[in-house]
Amino acid sequence: MLFRDISPVLADPAAFRVLSDAMAAGLPAGTDAVVAIEARGFILGAAIAYAAGLGLVCVRKPGKLPAVRHRVSYALEYGTATLELPEDTIRGGQRVVIVDDVLATGGTVAATRELVEHAGGVVAGVSVILELAGLKGRARVPGVDVTALLTH
């Protein structure tokens, strides 16, 4: 398994600013909030939400929230995982963009979409740094615009 590490970009102030600003500029019009996926998505999501003047909702792994709105388990290529949405963070009809570092097989993004929609939100888009096109993750979120700064 090849791991894509964004640490050098985050450590470089100019590169991190360019990355955050580019992702924030690519948000669809009418976006109400950024939904960030644990853990690297939190770093990006916070910077993007701040740059765009939006709120931030952090989707967490189990056992880290005092009040859970909904949870979804999903298959990974090497097992299963579960994500949880905090209570009282997404309003009905609220338009959100899901943010993460890499879109691979799409399981994590699809699970996050399910959490958002269960809460009454609308996924207006997905924004990632890198899309691994050969793994066809985009197909797991049909009808949603996916924006990647790089596609490999």
Q: In this structure, what DSSP letter does residue 28 have?
A: P
Q: Are 137 and 109 in contact (CB under 8 A)?
A: yes
Residues 38, 71: Cα–Cα separation, whole Å: 14
Q: What are phi and psi of 126, to 5 degrees?
A: -125, 135
Is 40 annotated as catalytic?
Answer: yes
SS3 for 152? coil
The single residue of 38, 77, 114, 131 carrying the catalytic annotation is 77
Q: Which residues of 73-92 are buried (b: 16+ CB within 10 A; e: fewer)?
A: ebeeeeeeeebbbbeebbee
Q: Are 128 and 106 in contact (CB under 8 A)?
A: no
Alpha helices in 71-138 (DSSP H): 107-118
Q: Give me the residue label for tokens 């709120």.
A: 55
The single residue of 17, 38, 40, 84 carrying the catalytic annotation is 40
Q: Which residues are catalytic?
A: 40, 77
